[in-house]
Structure formats: C-alpha cells, structure tokens
A and B are shown apart, each in its own frame.
Chain A
Amino acid sequence: MTELARILTYQGIPVWRHTRVIQWAAQILSAIVVVALVAWFFANVANAVQERGISYSFSFLSREYHTPIGDTFVPYEPSDTYLYAFGVAALNTLVVAVAGVILATLLGIFIGVIRLSGNWLVSRLALAYIEFFRNVPLLVQLLFWFFIMLVLPPERDGYVIAGQLYVNNAGVSFPWPTGTGQPIATLIWLILAVVAIIAGFVVSRRLSRREVETGRTSYPVLLGCAAAVAIGALGWLLVNAFAGDAPLAISTPEPQGRFARIDGGFTARAGMIVLLIGLVMYTASFIAEIVRAGIQSVGRGQTEASRALGLSQLNTLRQVTFPQALRVIIPPWISQCLNLTKNSSLGLAIGFTELTSVAQTMTQLAPPIPIFIMLMAAYLAMSLTWSLIGNLYNRRIRFS
C-alpha cells in the first residue's frame, strides 16, 4: 500500500507517466490485443470446423495413401500409409536440400572467386551471371528448365554421352555403386570407409599442425588422402577375401526393351534434375556475392604480406584469405542454406514430390488442418536445425 502511494506521488510525476506503469500497461495491452485476435481467429476456425464438419483428427495417418510418388529414395508402395508417404516426401526434401547446398556452395565459391579475379573478362562474366540469376524469380527459372527438359527426346532416342550418361526427358541416368549379393559385406566395408575418411582427416590435421609448429614440409593433404585410400583399399581386399565377393559393384545404366527404358545405374528423374539445376544456379548467385564480400572484408595487407612471404596465389587464398573470410561468410551462408531448403517447396510447381506438394495432394483426400500442423512442424524443424548449426559455428569463432 505504501509502495503504491509512493509510486503515485513520486516527485510529483503523474502516475500515467511513470516508466514502470507505462511499460506494464504496454505489455498487458499488447498481450490482450494479441490474445483477443488469436482467440477471435480460433473461435472462427472452431466455428467453421463445426459448421462445415471439417475433421481435425490425425487418425487418417494410418490409412493407406493409394497415390504413387514419382521420386523415392526408400522403397515405397501405394499401399503404404499417409504417415510413411509424408516421411518419403520429407526425405525427398532433405535429399534435394543437402545436394543443393553442396552444389550451390561449390558453384557459388567458384563464381565469387573469379568475380574477384584480376582478369577483366572473367570477372565481367561472373558479374553477368550473378546479376541475371539473382534478379529473376526462381519460379521463372524452374519453369524454363522444366520446359527445356520436357522437349528433350524420349528415352528411345535420348542423348548418350560417352556411353555412360543418358540424358532424356525422363531424367538423367549415370553409373552408380550398388551392393553385391552380401549386404553384410557391403555394410562392413562402408563402415571401414567412414573410418578411413576419419583417419585421413586425423592424419592431415596432425601433419598440418606439425608443419605449422616446426616448419618442416609435411604434405598434410597428400598424406591424409593417401592414408584414407590405403585403409579403404585394405578393407576392400579383406572383405573381398573373407566374403569371396567385392563389397560394391558399379552398375551402369543400360537401355532395355522396345521403349529403351533405362535400367541400372542411378536415374535422377526429370523433376529432381530441374529442381536441383534451378535451386543451385539461383542460390549460387547469392553465395557468390557473399563469398566476394567475405574475401573483400579481409584486409589488403593480409594478402600482400602472404605474397611477400612467398606463398603462391592459390595458397594465399586457401591458407590466409579464406580462413579469415569464413567468419564473415558463414552467417549469411547459413541463411542461404535455409532459403534453399525452403525454396525446395517450389518442387510443387514442377511435379517433384516434396513436403509441400505431398501436402497439397493429401489435402484433397484428408483433413487439411492436421496436415498443415505436420507441414509447419517439418519446416520449422529444418530451419531450427540450420539456425542451430549457425549458432554453434558462431560460438566457436567467437571464443577462439
């Protein structure tokens, strides 16, 4: 009570101008407005749900989906459930996102670096690429590639490059490793291969530290690769000796039958190819600008000093400029990765079954509200994952 009286009479300032009072009033007011608005929307939705008899139960998830999905990376039958089909589509989104991020980053770094090249012509070409692909909607680019793909010849008279790469309107087929008769042997070798890669990294890390500390030339990259290859090859020979069969075989695409359907190898179907080409070329133009800005943010003195120490241009870029530029590059790069993941929802426009397009098909046969909840949860989970990676990295560079 005395507290209240003190506030009310504090130094003659009227109570409605007291900072605390204003702040509390603002919070309560905004909370009331938002809660009222949300409650109104929910009341409307609940009303509509009741009046029009819209279901909001998740029970449809265990029903059979009965709809074919074009591109699958796990076995899928139309008799599988809605939940499984949703998972298949989520996997498709993930595959496109991961492949897209890797390819877009490589292309983006390449274009960003040649944009800064001292060569006028090359730098202008990179600029033209960036200015064009960045300024045209991704949907237009995707439709462009989509129709290019559509008017390619059918499988029977498609293009064959070097007898290995088949390009036609069904997609692009190329050789791909497959397991042989014994899955256990394949699995063992794959585990060994992962071990080999880790060992290679460790060797290269150790050697490069020794090189920095002692100044003795130690060839970290070369010896690291050699270690990885050696362990992998040894594993291959061992598995071969014990199982009597090579762990992996290369399956090459082969036209079969009257319509020359491509069999064997790996076929990236048209929808996925179009989506990947579009996403990669679009996102690479943004990544190129990020890389350029990052490299330019490194002081000129750094480059000059490393050149004066006798490092070659490539080594200057690889060991002096790029590691420093990474601090500036990584945060916007993460947000481009997130954008690429979200833009994969444009698969809807070109007939690639990813999350949004499977959701659209499902809403025609199942209640929309639970589907939307799942859809939002899936996308928010992916974007949270990207933010988490970004935050972890940020923390690492801040404390080092």
Chain B
Amino acid sequence: MATESNPAPPPLSSALPPPRMSVGAAGWIRANLFSTWLSGLLTVTSGAVLVLALWYGLDWVLLDAEWTVVTTLGGQFIIGSYNSEQACPGQNCFWRPQAALLLVTLLLGMGWGVAAGGLAKRIALIAAIAIALLAFLPYSLDKMGLDVRLLLIANLPALLAGWALARYTALGTARWIVILSVAVFLITLVLLRGVPGVPGLQPVLVQNWGGLTLNLVLAVAGIVLSLPIGIALALGRRSNLPVVKSLCVTFIEVFRGVPLITLLFMSQHLLPLAFPQNFPVNPLFRAAVVITLFSAAYMAENIRGGLQALHPGQAEAARALGLPGWQTTLLISLPQAIRNVIPAIVGQFIGLFKDTSLVYIIGMVDIVRVGYRFVSGNTQYLDNAPEVFIFISLVFWVFTYGMSYVSRHIERQLGVGER
C-alpha cells in the first residue's frame, strides 16, 4: 500500500544522533590525526618522537642543565660591562638604562591610551608586568640592590602615567607619540653616553655599551633610519632619470651582494680611513652606519616590489586630479605600496634585529658575545654552553616573534589581502 512503500518520516525528536565517531572530540581526532592509515602512522611515530623528546628534554632542563651559568651573568646580558668599575668608575651607572626603560614604558602607556585597548593595551600590560616581575628575582640584595628593584617596579606607575597623559592631556595623539618616541630615543642615547661635567652622568665610552641594550639601540636606530633611506632608494630606482637610477641600482646591488659580516669587518679598516682623523668613528657609529645601509638596500627592494604591484591607474588618477608628482608619490602610491608589503618590511626589521648579533666583529659586546666570552673564558662552564645559547635564543625569539605577531595583527586591521 501507498503508506507502507512511502512511510512518513519519523518525528524530529526521534532522529538518530550523528555517528559518535564523526562529531566532538572523537570526530576531531579521527579527522585530524587518523584520517588515513598513513596519517595514523605519522601521528603515532611523530607522537612517540615528541613524547621521547619532551621526556629527555624536560629531564635535561630540570635536572641536568646548570642554569647557574645564566643567573651568574644576570645583569651582563642586559647591559654588558657598562656598569663595571672600568667603564663607570666610582659610580653606579645601572640607573641610567633603567631610567631609559621607564621612558619607554611611559611611551607604551601612551600608546595604550591612544589606541584605547586592543593589541596596544595587551603589549603594554604584558611588557610592564614582566619588567616589574624582574624586581622579584631571587638574587641577594648586594647583587641586585633595592634601588634596582624599585626602579623596575616603577615601570608600573610609569605605564599608568603614560596612559593618563594620553587620555587627559593634549598629548594623546599618534603624532605626539611619534615625536616623543624620537625624543625618548635621543634621551636614551644621551643618558647612556653621559654628559661631561654633569655629576651622576659621567661619560661612558660606547665601547663599554653592551648586552641586550646594545642590540635594541642598534635595532631601533637601524629601523628608524633604514626605512626612509630604503624608500628614497626605491623611488630612485624606479625614477626615469638615468643618473639617479644607476646610482641607486649600484648602491642596492653592491650592498645586497656582500654579506653583512664582511661589510662590518671591512668597515673596521675602511671607515676610519674614509673620514677625517678627528671624526668620532667609534664602533657604535660604525655598526649603526653599516647595519642601516645594509638594511636600507633590502628595504628598497621590498618597497619597490610594493610599488610595482600597485596598479598604474592609482597614480594616473591622482595626476588627473591635479596632484603634483611629489604629492602623488607621497600621498597615493607610497601608502598603498607600503601597506601591501608590510610582512616583507617587518621581516626585514626582524632580520635587522637578528643581524645586530654580528657586531661582535667590530669588537662590541652584545648579548651573544657576553655569553660567548663567558663560556670560552671560563673552561669550567664549557659544558654549560648550550644553556647559555638556549637562553639567548629565547630572548631573541620573544622579540622577533612579538614583532611578527604585531605585524600580522596590523595586516588584519588594514584588511590587506581582503580586497
């Protein structure tokens, strides 16, 4: 009968649930770890390797590794031999980098205030809290004084002060933050270098700057200077003026063709010759010049890529609207070109930060050299070299990964690749 051959569907309430193996945790595991026999085999072998690696790795980290080699160096990783008796005789100079750090935290707070939450807030809070927590490191008081600890904790009020400054005064705009950032960088340089004749600020030779501070100072200087130089070179390379173009191409190709380490090594002999004898060609200046020019050559190629990818209609429309050439470039082409190559630019910044580890070639003691010098100078610590370099790797990793994280966030906010 009709009703038997074509039965009414059962009521919804009695519909069978989906098979247990295709939903929930079991379904996820099946789809992502055991979808085929090959995938299952991969999961089992790599899982076994991972477990073994974790087992032995944790065993080493917790039981076998001698982390005292890292804690012994402590402040030297941060600042090198800046605070040593030979560099800063008769005084405690550690407050100077710490004061600079306070200013940076203030800026972070202002960034949080201007951006009103989001990523800026997260970064500012994480950074300030992490710095403040350093104050509770279990060193004895004569190794890490009360003043040092208090200045570290002071980063929290500095953050809040920055936030309030941005919220309740006229300084709370992006433009002011840029201006103040440059000011803070210059103040940092003056603080670290010292001013002759001022008590408490006696000059410290740049040869004695070191540790992570040196890496950061060089990276910031390189980033700030290499971007405009790179933009100028990229525009020069695309210009239709033959002289300008060939000069830019020569510069870019020469600096891209030779390793940075070779350039640094050559600068040690050549730069002092290329300047008059009384010119202050100190190692810091040399390193900053070489790193900036090297990075600018790569930056130019990244930006040129962005300019090439831009549809010519953009520039044509701007010209048709009556914008003069320089306004077309500055207001129409460049912003879009740079936006398109943000990942490449940030990648270049990360590369620049990593490259600051090469300044040991010209005799500067950055964070890597601090570790290397200690390990190779104290043979009883030779076996503990892996601990030192794992620690240094993690320090670098935090910064570089943070940079790429921020870049991805900015990219998402600008909607790159969505149009």
- Chain A interface (Cβ < 8 Å from any Cβ of B): 23, 26-28, 30-31, 34, 41, 44-45, 48-49, 54, 117-122, 125, 131-132, 135-141, 143-144, 147-148, 150-151, 342-343, 345-346, 348-349, 355-356, 359-360, 363, 368-369, 372, 375-376, 379-380, 383-384
Contacts and interface: CB of A to CB of B under 8 A. Distances in A.
A121 B401 CA distance: 21
A135 B397 contact: yes
A136 B396 contact: yes
B308 interface: no
Contacts of B371: 143
A135 B404 contact: yes
Closest 10 CB pairs of A and B: A147-B385, A383-B257, A342-B259, A120-B32, A135-B400, A137-B354, A144-B389, A345-B259, A137-B357, A48-B273
A346 B259 CA distance: 9
Q: Which of A54, A143, A343, A345 has the most CB of B within 10 A?
A: A143
14 contacts: A27-B244, A28-B243, A45-B274, A119-B32, A121-B42, A121-B43, A122-B42, A122-B46, A135-B400, A140-B389, A147-B386, A342-B258, A369-B269, A372-B269
A135 B260 CA distance: 18
Contact of B257 (A117, A144, A380): A380
Contacts of B274: 41, 44-45
A132 B39 CA distance: 24
A362 to B, nearest CB: 12
Nearest to B324: A17
B47 interface: yes
B108 interface: no
Main secondary structure of the interface of A (DSSP, over half): helix
A360 B33 CA distance: 53
A367 to B, nearest CB: 10
Contacts of A139: 357-358, 368
A360 B350 CA distance: 28
A200 to B, nearest CB: 29
A34 B247 contact: yes
Given A118-B32, A120-B33, A375-B262, A27 B257 contact: no
Interface of B: 32-33, 35, 39, 42-43, 46-47, 50, 241-244, 247, 253-254, 256-262, 265-266, 269-270, 272-277, 350, 354-355, 357-358, 360-361, 368, 371-372, 375, 382-383, 385-386, 389-390, 392-393, 396-397, 400-401, 404
Contacts, number: 154
A143 B389 contact: yes
B44 to A, nearest CB: 10
B131 to A, nearest CB: 21
Nearest to B39: A119
Contacts of A360: 265
Contact of A137 (B39, B42, B241, B368): B368
B39 A118 contact: yes
B6 to A, nearest CB: 35
A45 B244 CA distance: 25
B120 to A, nearest CB: 22
Contacts of A26: 241, 244
Contacts of A30: 241, 243-244, 247
A2 to B, nearest CB: 26
A34 B393 CA distance: 41
A221 B336 CA distance: 48
Contacts of A376: 254, 258, 262, 266
Contacts of B368: 137, 139-140, 143
Nearest to B398: A135
A150 B382 CA distance: 9
Contacts of A143: 368, 371-372, 385, 389
Nearest to A376: B258
A276 B271 CA distance: 32
Given A359-B265, A384-B257, A151 B382 contact: yes
A345 B397 CA distance: 23
A271 to B, nearest CB: 15
B33 A345 contact: no
A346 B404 contact: no
Contact of B382 (A41, A147, A356): A147
B46 A140 contact: no
B127 to A, nearest CB: 18
